[in-house]
Amino acid sequence: MQTLIDELGRLPGIGPKSAQRIAYYLLKSPAEDANRLAGSITEAKARVTWCQRCFSIAEGELCAYCQDDRRDSTSLCVVEEPRDIVAIERTHEFNGRYHVLQGAISPIEGIGPEQLRVKELLRRVESEEVKEVILATNPNIEGEATAMYLGRLLTPLGIKVTRLASGLPVGGDLEYADEVTLGRAFEGRREVEA
């Protein structure tokens, strides 16, 4: 029982009290319900992996966006997490490809450029037909730092590098921005200075 509570408590956003409540709920529910949950976790873990090209979530070698031939390969949008892609897709402002960094630069947490998919991004920019990179990291300190770092790295390569326009709530997360705000930020993106 305590092992279950401890494991649940390690999940994001779940405190010790919630962990206890969920553990009791699971123990009280029928065996097939608990098995279905355990099974879906195991299955998802086995089937879902990182997309080999953009490092979003994929059920196979490539994710749905990387497989889709109708998308514009000259335009590449860099985000922190796969969930940011969902937020951007809702705006219908973007029809290019994505690149997921899997985080943002955060020295406090010991995360530097080498802990992110930065090398992979550079490789893509060099080997694919990318003409514009849109830096869509979160409008907070870590996201801005990451965008600045990438801007300095990418601008000398002779491609267009843009950053989402302000208007996004500062200090916020992309995933919580509403479609209208995020859509306008996309439309009004500005070029990054070297």
Partner 1 sequence: METPPGTSVARVELVDFRCYESTHLDLPSGVTVISGDNGEGKTSILEAVVWCALGRSFRGVPDAALVRAGQEEAVVRTFISAPERSRKIEVGLRRTGRNKILLDGKAVPRLRDLIGALRVTVFAPDDLALIKGGPAGRRTFIDELLTTINPRFSGVRADYEKVVRHRNALLRAGGRVNSQSDEGATLEVFNQQLVATGSELLEGRLQLLNQIFPEVQLAYRELAIEPVVLEADYVCDWATSGPNETGLSQTLTREELAKTMRAALSALAGRERERGTTLVGPHRDEWALTLAGLESRSQASQGEQRTLALALRLASHRAVAAAFGQEPVLVLDDVFSELDEYRSAALVERLAAPQTLISTAGPLPFGVEVAARVCVANATARVQ
Residue 51 binding target from partner 1, Zn ion, none, CB below 5 to 8 Å by type: Zn ion
51 lies in the binding site for Zn ion (CB under 5 A):
yes
Residue 149 binding target from Zn ion, partner 1, none, CB below 5 to 8 Å by type: partner 1
# residues contacting partner 1 (CB under 8 A): 23
Smallest gap from residue 99 Cβ to partner 1 (A): 19
- Cα 86 to Cα 6, 150, 182, distances in angstroms: 31, 22, 12
Q: Are 76 and 124 in contact (CB under 8 A)?
A: yes
DSSP string spanning the chain?
A: -HHHHHHHHTSTT--HHHHHHHHHHHHHS-HHHHHHHHHHHHHHHHH-EE-TTT-SEESSSS-HHHH-TTSEEEEEEEESSHHHHHHHHHHT---EEEEE-SS--BGGGTB-GGGTTHHHHHHHHHHS---EEEE---SSHHHHHHHHHHHHHHGGGTSEEEE--BTBPTT--GGGS-HHHHHHHHHT-EEPP-
119 lies in the binding site for partner 1 (CB under 8 A):
no
Strand partners, 72: 96
Smallest gap from residue 108 Cβ to partner 1 (A): 5
121 lies in the binding site for Zn ion (CB under 5 A):
no
76 lies in the binding site for Zn ion (CB under 5 A):
no
141 lies in the binding site for partner 1 (CB under 8 A):
yes
26 lies in the binding site for partner 1 (CB under 8 A):
no
Which stretch, 35-43, 65-73, 138-146, 180-188, contacts partner 1 (CB under 8 A)? Answer: 138-146
**Interface residues for partner 1 in 55-114 (CB under 8 A)?**
105-108, 110-114
132 lies in the binding site for partner 1 (CB under 8 A):
no
Which stretch, 5-13, 18-26, 62-70, 131-139, contacts Zn ion (CB under 5 A)? Answer: 62-70
Closest by alpha carbon to 166, among 149, 182, 150? 182
Residues within the interface to partner 1 (CB under 8 A): 15-17, 105-108, 110-115, 141-142, 144-145, 148-149, 152-153, 170-171
Residues within the interface to Zn ion (CB under 5 A): 51, 53-54, 56, 63, 66
